[in-house]
């Protein structure tokens, strides 16, 4: 398990100069009772400096497990393999999977260089301490030069940046005195207190109404420009992806089944699952009598999965004798646009 790893990682890995993070052949197994859940299966993606990458899919597709593995906060019954290569602020490239998740090196990275906004702002804060105390704690933990006075000043500055009115009063209030939208802003302020290079946002607007959602997304965009950070944005809402992301990775059953730019995914989707997600979006010009499209079935449990397409039993384009029986390779649609689907091979044969 991870807690048995030594508290260091081999230096000397190489990643592209424009990348800050590269995930290579990531697999995560979860031991639950007598079952081995293969929650993440051979995932590959990269994150450029200043880029926003959307990780999209239904609940149970492995999005959150993937992001928590990057941060090293999956529970002890999770075992990851592969490589998560990260360029630290000092310029070293480390494989985070080699680190002890409870060790000093990972703790120094977590919060200071890679931060995460969780789904539920209502449960992210302790009810026993003021907002100011909880934000100042992360500064005092990661900045040895910080004093309580300087940390408080930085907290006030961050509360102003995220648009919380009257921060001089709010800093000494408790979480129950904040609305959901204000708590989400305070959580963003906490994650940005140490100016991280990467912000992982796991469904950051799920619990908020649509008006507050739009405000939070606009806030994240403006803060990204100001701080120059990269964002890994996890969501099931493709409408949000269209407004927030540069590139999109569509996940299904622990695999990335399609990857491309926002324009490629929205205007030239190739995988039936991606097409189904897009068709499921409500449209302004739909009549009330027109039913919203749904993808039949549910995401299966990732137990004893055969090496074939995980979507075949829900896919209306399934090729019998092919999709359920073959390992699905990656096909390149155009530069930067990848898809795992045997329909691509059929198309190549027809046009070959």
Residue 21, H or E segment: strand 19-32
Q: How far apart are CA 61 and CA 251, in angstroms?
A: 6
* 339: nearest Cα among 288, 278, 269: 269
Note the helical H segments in 55-196.
Answer: 63-71, 104-109, 121-124, 131-142, 148-161, 167-170, 180-192
Does residue 164 sit in helix, strand or coil?
A: coil
Residue 308, H or E segment: none
* 195: nearest Cα among 239, 154, 167, 245: 154
Q: What is the pLDDT of residue 2?
A: 45
Residues 6+ apart with CB under 8 A from 257: 250, 251, 271, 273, 274, 311, 339, 340, 341
pLDDT in tens, 109-142: 988 899 988 877 778 889 999 999 999 999 998 8
Torsion-angle region of residue 215: left (phi > 0), alpha (psi -120 to 50) or beta?
alpha
Q: How far apart are CA 216 and CA 280, in angstroms?
A: 24
| 352 residues of the chain, pLDDT tens digit each | 444 455 555 566 889 999 999 999 999 999 988 889 999 999 999 999 999 999 999 888 999 999 999 999 999 999 999 999 999 988 899 999 999 888 889 988 988 899 988 877 778 889 999 999 999 999 998 888 889 999 999 999 999 988 898 999 999 999 999 988 889 889 888 888 888 899 999 888 776 677 777 888 888 888 888 888 999 999 888 888 888 899 999 999 999 999 999 999 999 999 999 999 998 877 766 666 677 788 888 888 888 888 889 999 899 899 888 888 888 999 999 999 999 999 988 765 443 4
Q: What is the pLDDT of residue 60?
A: 86
Q: Do 178 and 190 contact (CB within 8 A), yes or no?
A: no
List the end-to-end C-alpha distance of the chain, in Å, as a whole number. 48
Q: What is the pLDDT of residue 1?
A: 41
Q: Do 205 and 23 contact (CB within 8 A), yes or no?
A: no
């Amino acid at each position: 398990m991870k807690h048995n790893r030594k508290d260091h990682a081999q230096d000397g890995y190489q990643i592209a100069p424009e990348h800050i993070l590269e995930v290579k052949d990531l697999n995560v197994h979860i031991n639950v009772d007598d079952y081995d859940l293969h929650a993440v299966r051979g995932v590959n993606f990269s994150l450029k400096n200043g880029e926003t990458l959307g990780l999209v899919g239904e609940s149970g597709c492995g999005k959150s497990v993937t992001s928590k593995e990057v941060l090293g906060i999956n529970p002890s019954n999770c075992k990851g393999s592969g490589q998560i290569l990260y360029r630290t602020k000092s310029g070293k490239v480390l494989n985070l999977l080699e680190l002890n998740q409870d060790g000093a090196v990972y703790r120094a990275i977590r919060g200071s260089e890679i931060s995460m906004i969780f789904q539920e702002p209502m449960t992210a804060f302790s009810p026993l301490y003021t907002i100011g105390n909880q934000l100042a704690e992360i500064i005092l933990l990661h900045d040895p030069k910080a004093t309580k006075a300087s940390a408080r000043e930085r907290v006030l500055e961050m509360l102003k940046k995220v648009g919380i009115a009257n921060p001089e009063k709010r800093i000494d209030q408790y979480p129950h005195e904040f609305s959901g939208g204000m708590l989400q802003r305070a959580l963003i302020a906490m994650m940005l207190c140490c100016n991280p290079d990467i912000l992982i946002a796991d469904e950051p607007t799920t619990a908020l109404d649509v008006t507050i959602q739009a405000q939070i997304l606009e806030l994240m965009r403006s803060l990204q420009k100001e701080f120059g950070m990269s964002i890994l944005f996890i969501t099931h809402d493709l409408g949000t992806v269209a407004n927030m992301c540069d590139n999109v990775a569509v996940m299904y059953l622990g695999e990335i089944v399609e990857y491309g730019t926002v324009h490629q995914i929205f205007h030239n989707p190739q995988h039936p699952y991606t097409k189904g997600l897009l068709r499921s979006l409500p449209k302004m010009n739909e009549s009330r009598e027109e039913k919203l499209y749904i993808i039949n079935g549910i995401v299966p449990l990732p137990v004893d999965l055969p090496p074939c397409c995980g979507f075949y039993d829900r896919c209306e384009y399934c090729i019998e004798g092919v999709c359920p029986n073959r390992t699905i390779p990656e096909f390149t649609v155009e530069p930067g646009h990848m898809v795992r689907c045997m329909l691509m091979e059929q198309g190549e044969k027809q046009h070959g």
